[in-house]
Every structure is written in C-alpha cells, then in structure tokens.
C-alpha cells in the first residue's frame, strides 16, 4: 500500500498504540519505543526536507549535523574568515553584523572568539608555508603569515545562542596565525582557520 508522506507520522502513532495495547511489553522497553526520534518512525522527515527551498534545506542540515563532512575549501574560507572587500573595515558593530550575516556559529551556539582578515585567499595559503608558531590555547603547531595584515578580533561580550551573540570589535594589524591541513586535490596545504593576530614588536 502506498502511503502519502503526510500520513506516515500518524500511521506510525497508530501502530505504536496497537503495539502498546495488544502486547505486554516490559516498562523500560515500552519507554524506549515511545522516546524514539521521529526520524526512526518513518521517512516523512526525509521527504519533507526536499520540499523546502535549497538554502533552507542546507541550513537545516548544517544545524543538525555533527560536524563538517568535507574538508575546508577556498570558498568556505572566503565566506567565513576573509572580510568583504567592499565593506569599510571599521565600526563598533562590525563583528555583530558580519557574524550574523555570515551565519557563524556552532549549532546556534556563539563562538567565544572569531577573526576576520582583510587579505586575498592566496596570502593565507602562503601562510601555510610560513614560520611555525605555537597555536593559541593549544599545544599544536600553527603557521604565521609572512606579511603584516589587517584583521579584526571578535570577542563575545554576551549571549550564548544566535541571534543574541554580541561581540566587541578590535581592529588590529599583525601576522595572521593560521591552522592548515593537507588537500589531496591540490597536493598542498590549505588554510582552514585564523586563530590569532600577532602584533609585530
């Protein structure tokens, strides 16, 4: 029997009700069955996901994902870290507006700190072959850009979840400290994040 997507969840509830009333289930197992997430009770949510527009669908998938499934790309770095070239690089509300417009969060939780840098992608890529430096707040090894660049440090002032994250914008010039990883497509290291800005002595 073919069942329309919109009726699957109600059909699942009827089946669950008949299981409960017709069979003497132990209480722990019964509670487990009742607490199953909707996704396991039918394919309605999978089908519904494709009825929304692609941008909303991608946002929902990103929000509920456990982490990135693909390595960082040039496009992702441009979108999340490299400052918009046409926007003036100043202002107390710079971080607030950019973080909201670029949708920067981890499952709607505010990042405690984030950096935007005003450079071309190639400058950050070259930094992957720059001087080795210690990573901020960690034992790993990072790389430092060869040139002094402009950046802004966004420090969380208040809020825990989007869209209530409020940031302080601190503009500076210094060496960008980047993390990098190997990219099989280009056979080279590519940048995936900016962790700090080192002010020159």
Cα distance between residue 44 and residue 38, in whole Å:
9
Lowest mean pLDDT among 38-42, 139-143, 157-161: 38-42
Spatial contact of 42 and 89, defined as CB atoms under 8 Å apart:
no
Residue-wise pLDDT for 57-74, tens only, equals: 455 544 544 444 445 567
Count H helices and E strands in the chain, helices first: 7, 6
Closest by Cα among 71, 83, 98 to 197: 83
CA neighbours within 13 Å on the CB side: how many for 63?
10
pLDDT at residue 79 above 50?
Answer: yes
186 backbone dihedrals φ, ψ, rounded to 5°: -100, -5
Residue with the larger pLDDT of the pair 61 and 185: 185
Residue with the larger pLDDT of the pair 4 and 179: 179
For the entire predicted model, the pTM comes to: 0.63
DSSP conformational letter for 170: E
Query: What is the end-to-end Cα distance of the chain in Å, rounded?
Result: 75
Residue with the larger pLDDT of the pair 119 and 138: 119
CA 42 to centroid of chain Cα atoms: 28
Confidence of residue 37 (pLDDT cuts 50, 70, 90): very low
CA 80 to centroid of chain Cα atoms: 9
Residue-wise pLDDT for 121-140, tens only, equals: 999 999 999 999 988 877 67
DSSP conformational letter for 150: E
Residue-wise pLDDT for 159-182, tens only, equals: 999 889 999 999 999 999 999 988
């Amino acid at each position: 029997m073919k069942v329309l997507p919109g009726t699957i969840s109600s059909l699942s509830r009827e089946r669950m009700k008949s299981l409960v009333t017709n069979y003497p289930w132990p209480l722990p197992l019964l509670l487990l069955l009742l607490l199953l997430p909707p996704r396991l009770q039918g394919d309605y949510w999978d089908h519904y996901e494709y009825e929304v527009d692609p941008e909303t669908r991608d946002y929902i998938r990103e929000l509920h994902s456990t982490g990135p499934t693909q390595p960082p790309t040039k496009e992702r770095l441009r979108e999340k870290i490299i400052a918009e070239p046409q926007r003036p690089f100043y202002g107390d509300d710079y971080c607030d507006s950019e973080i909201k417009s670029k949708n920067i969060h981890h499952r709607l939780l505010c990042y405690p700190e984030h950096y935007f840098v005003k450079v071309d992608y190639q400058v950050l890529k070259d930094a992957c072959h720059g001087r080795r430096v210690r990573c901020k707040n960690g034992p790993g090894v990072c790389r430092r850009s060869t040139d002094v660049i402009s950046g802004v440090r966004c420090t969380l002032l208040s809020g825990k979840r989007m869209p209530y994250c409020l940031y302080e914008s601190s503009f500076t010039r210094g060496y960008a400290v980047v993390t990098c990883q190997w990219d099989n497509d280009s056979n080279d290291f590519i940048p995936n994040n900016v962790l700090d800005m080192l002010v020159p002595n």
